[in-house]
Structure 1
Amino acid sequence: MKFGTKAIHAGVAPDPSTGAIMTPIFQTSTYVQKSPGDHQGFEYSRTHNPTRTALQQNLAALENGKHGLCFSSGLGAIDAIIKLLQPGDEVISTNDLYGGSYRIFTKVFERYGIKFHFVSMDDPATIETYINERTRLIWAETPTNPMMNIIDIAGIGAVAKKHKVMFAVDNTFATPFLQNPLDMGADIVMHSVTKYLGGHSDVVMGAIIVNDDQLAEQLAFIQNACGATPGPQDCFLVLRGIKTLHIRMERHCQNGKTIAAFLKNHPKVEKVYWPGFEDHPNHEIAKSQMRDFGGMISFTLKGNDMKDAIKVLENLKLFALAESLGGVESLSGHPASMTHASIPKEEREKVGLVDSLIRLSVGIEDADDLKEDLRNALNMI
């Protein structure tokens, strides 16, 4: 089944009681049992809910995986993954990652004796120097947030397999439309479903997809025992959003290419970070593991003045200044003071996240209107 067909049909079926083509919202906390223990798979909605089950099956199919699990947020999904570990275990993470991921790693789980190494993952071979007998997990984003670095999934997958270490990929920026990490050696794929999968800025959710039965069982236990599960209304909204994922992503990619080229040629822009450029680091890796280059772009201004960046952001009209990304509407942000403020300044700047960096989530509006919005805002500095 091709991706567009899977987005609409995988994991879902007409409701057997009514024939409804859309998965119903099973707004219930519990389920009547004919006899104690005779619950036909559903007993309590923290454990299972038919609307959530349909979404989990759909997400697993989109990632070419066997098991899908949904959580109340992307961080809820990350929380469940790290709870697979024990005190004394170590994690190797990319040093360019979402600020919320950095925060939960360093401010929450380090307190419980889990050690995190934040390293460059430009070359998979360098990761081996950090692996020891306590290493249990390699954590990667690709493209990374917000520097758009590309990490060789197959290369790191080979290193992880060699050393018998779990390998997890945050696939939020790319979505399963652009790449499928499980096919390239990842053990776990994580998504902030809030972003492109939902696609309409109206839901907060996370997801994990795996192939290994035992790993799925462990994660399902954590999902149920810790309770960070989404409600059926949110699951319905994401199922609805996913039906147009492939169409939306095509437009995000088209617009992203147009906006990246516009910014690269603008006299007030210092540097544009977008993996579709031939001179982007690891561009060839991006070409080999992605089907297109996405709608996420970061750029810096000449002079690197935070005041200039703020002025640009305050004067954008179509690019709304807001947290998050991946919706149909274009968004703009200032990572140093917004999404990545929890990362110390010296650590941010090591990876190029300077004070003038602006991150764009390019929506599906008309590209000419988006260019004009950026042109007008840039003219204000």
Structure 2
Amino acid sequence: MTQITPKITPIYQTSVFKFEDLDAVQQYFDEPGSRYLYSRNGNPNSDELAEAVNRWESGAGAVATGSGMAAIFAALLTYCQAGDHVLCAADIYGGSAALLNLELARLGITASYVPFEALYGLRPYLQSTTRLLLCETMSNPLLRVVDLGAAARECHRHGLKLVVDNTFATPALTQPLAYGADLVLHSVTKYLAGHSDVTAGAVVARAAEDAARLRQIGTVFGLTLSPMESWLSVRGLKTLRLRVAAHCENAWLVAEFLDEHPAVAAVYYPGLPTHPQHALALAQGGGRYGGMLSFRLADDAAAVNRFMQHSERFPFAPSLAGVDSSCSHPLTTSHRALTDAQRAELGITVGLVRLSVGIEPVEELLADLAQALE
């Protein structure tokens, strides 16, 4: 029979793998990674995705998970148990806050929220059981940029781990492990897969022992990603560099346009020279600033509705990072789990609109925004 050597890894759509005899089973346990047993424990497709993300982030090992939320859960459990305390940046994805407030608190893991300005002076927020700081490279939805090197030094000064959600920036712009982060996580659903057709996550460790712990958590809790979605994510990841470059270029031009529009009160994009962390974003992003931005209309639901109803190229779709542009409304979607006080402190009001700028011809995006804002 002619030997078949595929260029692309096939989809191993199987829940279980066969063994010849008892010796083969013993080999599985004696030599980790030598073969596969059951797809919850590992599958060639999910392992290929984990290895690809690990290479992008220059880590010691990674695990692919069934969603970005599963990735956050796995990352926190790598370092925490009942009775422990977590510090979390106040500027954080609403789902992360919901996980901490609603579920991990129920398991005995408590959390305190640190204002952006205090991330490099954590002492007032420390408890004897504090284990880590969770933050985002670029915050959702206000695009504040964390100085990862300073945050890592502050964490390690106090014996804490730094866990960074790098979803907005992607490793094509920033690699947090290089700045001293201990774990970096992604909602692969977003830029890494890139086509709005996958739900997946990934966590990458700087240390091999943390990578082993991640794999154990993924297996025991059943967080493993399916073969088909792993395969789709790997396929998307192959064009990450090209897609991110196009996202960044379009978003920069959109941000400049909105910044000059009379209907827009403010624009939040690190690429604008007026952004408070513009210089930091320039350094950490290699001259690019990502494809996400937010802008502020009048705090009037009717005004926001008119924009959404008239826009044809930015449909209201509460996610991000697909090749097609979209808009979202943090107050009523991603950040609705925050308290009223938290949202007010962050400035997440009814007039705040978040844009995920795609890779379409930018002149079409600008024309659509112009007519929708009239």
Q: TM-score range by the shorter chain?
A: over 0.9
The amino acid that maps onto 1:23 is: T
Displacement after TM superposition at 1:34 (Å)? 1.9
Q: Quick check: 1:74 aligned with 2:60?
A: no
TM-score by length of 2: 0.94
Q: Which runs of 5+ in 2 are unaligned?
A: 29-33
Q: Which residue of 2 aligns with 1:337?
A: 332
Task: Assess if the C-alpha contact under 8 Å between 1:318 and 1:330 holds in 2.
Answer: yes
Secondary structure of the equivalent of 2:151? helix
Q: Quick check: 1:244 aligned with 2:230?
A: no
Corresponding pairs, count: 363
Distance (whole Å) between structure 1 residues aligned to residue 60 and residue 368 of structure 2 = 43
- Give the stretch that moved more between structures: 133-142 or 337-346: 337-346
Q: Quick check: 1:43 aligned with 2:43?
A: no
Q: What per-residue deviation string (whole Å, max 9, x for no partner) do you get for residues 115-152 of structure 1?
A: 11111233543323212321101000121000101111
Task: Assess if the C-alpha contact under 8 Å between 1:122 and 1:282 holds in 2.
Answer: no
Q: What per-residue deviation string (whole Å, max 9, x for no partner) do you get for residues 69-106 of structure 1?
A: 00000001111122231222111111111111111110
Task: Assess if the C-alpha contact under 8 Å between 2:89 and 2:119 holds in 1.
Answer: no
Over 3 Å counting, the alpha-carbon distance change for 1:210 and 1:196 in structure 2 is same
Displacement after TM superposition at 1:270 (Å)? 0.1
TM-score by length of 1: 0.93
Over 3 Å counting, the alpha-carbon distance change for 1:115 and 1:17 in structure 2 is farther
Q: What per-residue deviation string (whole Å, max 9, x for no partner) do you get for residues 298-324 of structure 1?
A: 0001x3222211221122111111011
Task: Assess if the C-alpha contact under 8 Å between 1:67 and 1:211 holds in 2.
Answer: yes
Q: Quick check: 1:65 aligned with 2:59?
A: yes
Task: Assess if the C-alpha contact under 8 Å between 2:74 and 2:214 holds in 1.
Answer: yes
Task: Assess if the C-alpha contact under 8 Å between 1:25 and 1:51 holds in 2.
Answer: yes
Q: Which runs of 5+ in 1 are unaligned?
A: 1-15
The amino acid that maps onto 2:62 is: G
Across the aligned residues of Structure 1 and Structure 2, the Cα RMSD in angstroms comes to 1.4
Q: Equivalences for 1:4-153 in 2 at 5 Å?
A: 18-36=4-22, 37=25, 38-39=27-28, 40-84=34-78, 85-153=80-148
Q: What per-residue deviation string (whole Å, max 9, x for no partner) do you get for residues 251-273 of structure 1?
A: 00000000000000000000000
Q: Which residue of 2 aligns with 1:182?
A: 177
1:296 alignment partner, one of 292, 295, 302: 292
Instruction: Spell out structure 1 runs of 4+ moving beyond 6 A.
Output: none
1:218 alignment partner, one of 213, 216, 241: 213
The amino acid that maps onto 2:49 is: L
Secondary structure of the equivalent of 1:18? coil
Secondary structure of the equivalent of 2:246? helix
1:362 alignment partner, one of 339, 357, 360: 357
Distance (whole Å) between structure 2 residues aligned to residue 300 and residue 31 of structure 1 = 53
Task: Assess if the C-alpha contact under 8 Å between 2:185 and 2:201 holds in 1.
Answer: yes
Secondary structure of the equivalent of 2:122? helix
